[in-house]
Structure 1
């Protein structure tokens, strides 16, 4: 008998980590009926983080919150005891833009703050916040306003949502927010090291992905600079140049500077949440995976984190993927013994995307055959 763990991230736009694992498991069992195959969905703090938590036994608590353009969306947080997991991508992410239309100047992180507030109101005292995949460049202003902060203009009125409106703010009041967060620990899953502003900041680096043109990027960077000044004045802390401040359009900055959050690598946090290290006892093989294995995979992504954890205790690792762009030497450096790609079976990428499950089952069969 062999014991196999399938710890896969999503195949973006195609399958969830759970669905990948189910297909691989079916394939393995066709060849090795005596195998014990367990699924441990993982994520790097972006899309799929909520699902990974639920797969690990957290309860999904549904919440209707503000989407990135203000429309209500059905989202939620995952809870186990006093610990909550919030996924920014699920409420304030690009996939939540109505019709897929970008809103670079007005998109807000308010919905993420509403989920955090709901978790705190329910009695959670530790919130794990995954901040990948945002649609906004508002410096996290929406997030903190949903938690009680007041950001007003010269007339004493609350400013509009979104990054562009930050230039009209003249003061930031954190009184209610501090009361709301008393006794609450916020930990952020973050895998980028960009500062808030400047040529490698939130607007310049990620603005184009969110639909911002060069003039809008410049405007947003100016607005974020003004926002950082207001936060520094209100808190006495200067964090705009800190690693990760530019994550998720500046949500990383607000989390550190206003919420007092700690930033940690996303896959490291998720592996802790799902109890991955404890589940490795007696395991003969770990199968990890994501849609594309490339150089980005090796820098803080879920596959690299899973491989490192298994390698540390001497368990071999293989990966499944849609396409593999890493040579064997790079795979070995990451602790991955072999990569099994859908495109090895079906060169037509469109077919791989349209119907990946039978191909993944076949990869599972190949993995099981190689176990003999």
Structure 2
């Protein structure tokens, strides 16, 4: 029996590789003759570079960069020499967990550190940079990235603005003539797990701002400033950055990358699957185990469990989804190839306890799933 374990991370708890290890630890003693293949996945958010490293190899590089709240942080990216490829997570340099929870406010955060990572990646002999857009603490429309790469974002007096969501309120001029010339020699690819536009009721600020600490007044102001940024891009640069799919990813970083820097925006899971051996591995599985921290109605829209199930469905392979919590509107996942969904919690608990006990709960739940698989296999062979 071949079991493929292909989970996303359980955010703020375990990365995808550790989730896969916990699942195998629970299943292997019950199914001692099974063959397990771990396939850690990511949809473009935290752990995206690690997923590439796990599946195609490479080297990890660490740099001290500007964190989302302007304090220095140590961030990393992955270089694969064979593919002449760099993979960067926005979350590594500009992620929400890097900002203390009690001071989170997307008006004051910056993507500057992500731009510094891109600049550092350009020092290597590469042809492409993939940037995973999930998990940001920012709402600056990529102003920090643009600044770090040499663009001039100026106020009415010709002074550089502070590259934050709040700083966009003073923006009058965008000058891209001073961008790092090495950008012309590489392909930029942005991996995103959302299709939101930059502005409007489904845009970066309205949908994701509250998750980053924005209060009602912050959301109102930041929405105005993103409209200002989009208008200046249109009037001065002739670029429409507001409405294309994914422009609102990572607090508007999608708009800067796709609208101003010429990046291709692609669904993160599809991009990872297309660059690795995942399809052939899944095609030869008897069971597939996947999962993420929360499974709900949003999971069907480009998240790891839905993408994995869609592939497995084509080969008529059963798919089990593990989740830290299960929300409403999951029924559509059963039409996409999911066989069963299991929450890993033993009962009601505080979020802090759930995060702390994720590994133990994954092992226990995976053991129970293995017992179910063993029973079904036994009945199939004796029928």
Normalising by the residue count of structure 1, what TM-score does the alignment of the two structures yield? Answer: 0.92
Contact 2:144–2:164, Cα closer than 8 Å, also in 1: yes
Structure 1 residues 71 and 328: alpha-carbon distance in aligned structure 2, compared to 1, 3 A threshold:
closer
The aligned residue for residue 64 of structure 2 is 64
Cα displacement (A) at 1:303: 0.8
What's the counterpart of residue 140 of structure 1? 142
Of the three residues 101, 110, 113, the one matched with 1:111 is 113
Q: Which residue does the alignment assign to 1:246?
A: 248
Q: Secondary structure at the match of 2:25?
A: helix
Runs of 4 or more consecutive aligned structure 1 residues displaced over 6 Å after TM superposition: none
Corresponding residue for 2:265?
263
Quote how far apart the aligned CAs of 1:325 are: 4.2
| Paired position in structure 2 for 1:347 | 347
Offset, 1:279: 2.3
Q: Secondary structure at the match of 1:199?
A: coil
Cα deviation, 1:119-171, whole Å, max 9, x if unaligned, reads 12212221111111211111111111111111122333212221222232322
Question: RMSD of the TM alignment (CA)?
Answer: 2.1
Contact 2:296 2:329 in 1 (8 A): no
Q: CA-to-partner distance for each residue in 1:45-67, whole Å, 9 max, x for gaps? A: 11221221222223211121111
Residue matched to 1:358: 360
State the match for 2:22 in structure 1.
23
Shift of 1:362: 2.9
C-alpha separation in 1, matches of 2:158 and 2:356:
53
Q: Within 5 Å, which residues of 2 pair with 1:188-267?
A: 188-267=190-269
Q: Are 1:300 and 2:299 counterparts?
A: no
Relative to the length of structure 2, the TM-score reads 0.89
- Contact 1:235–1:257 under 8 Å retained in 2: no
Q: How many residues align?
A: 369
- After superposition, the C-alpha distances for 1:72-119 in whole angstroms (9 at most, x for unaligned) are 111111121211111111211111114651132221111111111111
User: Given that residues 88 and 129 in structure 1 are in contact (C-alpha distance below 8 angstroms), is that contact kept between their aligned partners in structure 2?
Assistant: yes
Once residues 139 and 367 of structure 1 are traced to their aligned partners in structure 2, the CA distance between those partners, rounded to angstroms, is 43
Asked if 1:44 corresponds to 2:46, the answer is: no
Structure 1: gaps spanning 5 or more residues: none
Specify every segment of 5 or more residues in structure 2 that has no aligned partner in the other structure, as ranges: 378-383
**Distance in 1 between the 2:255 and 2:333 partners?**
34
| Alpha-carbon contact 1:174-1:234 (below 8 Å) kept | no
Q: Would you say the 8 A contact 1:40–1:274 is kept in 2?
A: no
d(CA) in 1 for partners of 2:244 and 2:174? 21
SS in 2 for 1:291: strand
Taking the aligned partners of 1:235 and 1:102, their CA distance within structure 2 comes to: 32
